[in-house]
Amino acid sequence: MSLETSSVADTTGVGTLLTNARFELMPFESFDDEIRYLPDDATIAITTSPQLGIERTVERAEQAAAAGFDVSPHIAARYVTDQNHLEDIARRLTDAGITDIFVPGGDRDEPVGEFESALDLLEALEETEYGFDHVGITGYPEGHGFLDDQTLSDAMAAKEPYATYVVTQLCYDPDAIVDWIEVVRDRGVDLPIEVGIPGVLKYQRLLTISQKVGVGDSVKFLKKTSGILGFVRQLVGSRGAYTPDDLVDGLAPYADDEAYGIGGLHIYTFNETADTEAWRRERLSESS
């Protein structure tokens, strides 16, 4: 399948993307303060922290669900010890009324137990009495630092029968995202795709985080779009803060195109929700 691309800004598309956004938070101490800035009907994705483990993710998910939010906890496979542990997690989430989970492999070098990959955990979940209406899996528009493209393609194909949507890794380049979606659709994957974008964040922190999570090509893209002098001007002119306007504008023409199947935005807030939500509301008001 070859999909026609477009670079024309689309205010309707901006509205579609930002209305259907979900917010990813980390389960740190600031969590209680951060959720206060989010709309009452927000969907909150909660990461698994290498420092705190999956128990804190489950606790925060229970807390957010009790506060009335829609919740999508990250059940990272390499942080789950065994089948009994998985069943306990699934029971607690079900009891909390949670119907959406996201299943990554997890960024541990070695698993804590018997699950090496997201596929292992998804298969094991099928053996439990618990089911979830929505199950997300990962997508990598710029590839993976340790896995080749064929391995990633095979992994997505294996996980697709267990999933209902895909969430992409952080990326700053709308063209790279669109190209990747075209490739995924050509392979016959028709799951809705939640496009992962950064929220509003200080440039220096964002660049540091980006290098850690392996999106160096996107960091280069930020600098390439305006040249290094332009990049410095952006830093100074924005008082050192990044906003994802160009990224959202670049994706907007495809937001309502069924061939692309973009389900919405997955905003990596890095627990900076106040500035991100203020930006989102401003852009929504401009697009209405």
Name residue 184's amino acid.
Answer: V
41-74 per-position pLDDT tens digit: 999 999 998 889 999 999 999 999 999 999 999 9
The pTM assigned to this predicted structure is 0.88
Enumerate residues 6+ apart whose C-beta is below 8 A from 126: 162
Name residue 249's amino acid.
Answer: D
pLDDT at 211: 56
**Is a pLDDT exceeding 50 seen at residue 3?**
no
As a whole number of angstroms, the distance between CA 264 and CA 31 comes to 23
Tokens of 268: 């990596």
Q: Which of 16-20, 36-40, 112-116, 220-224 has the lowest mean pLDDT?
A: 220-224
Share of the chain above pLDDT 90, in %: 72
pLDDT at 104: 95
**What domains lie within the chain, and their CATH numbers?**
11-200+243-287 (3.20.20.220), 203-241 (no CATH)
pLDDT at 216: 44
248-261 per-position pLDDT tens digit: 999 999 999 999 99
Q: Which of 24-33, 46-55, 185-194, 239-248 has the lowest mean pLDDT?
A: 239-248
Tokens of 279: 């930006």
Q: How many CB atoms lie within 10 A of CB 1?
A: 9
pLDDT at 142: 85
As a whole number of angstroms, the distance between CA 108 and CA 77 comes to 10
As a whole number of angstroms, the distance between CA 138 and CA 152 comes to 10
Strand order in the sheet with 193-198: 70-73, 43-46, 22-25, 262-268, 193-198, 165-168, 134-139, 100-102
pLDDT at 148: 83
202-233 per-position pLDDT tens digit: 877 766 666 554 444 444 444 444 444 454 45
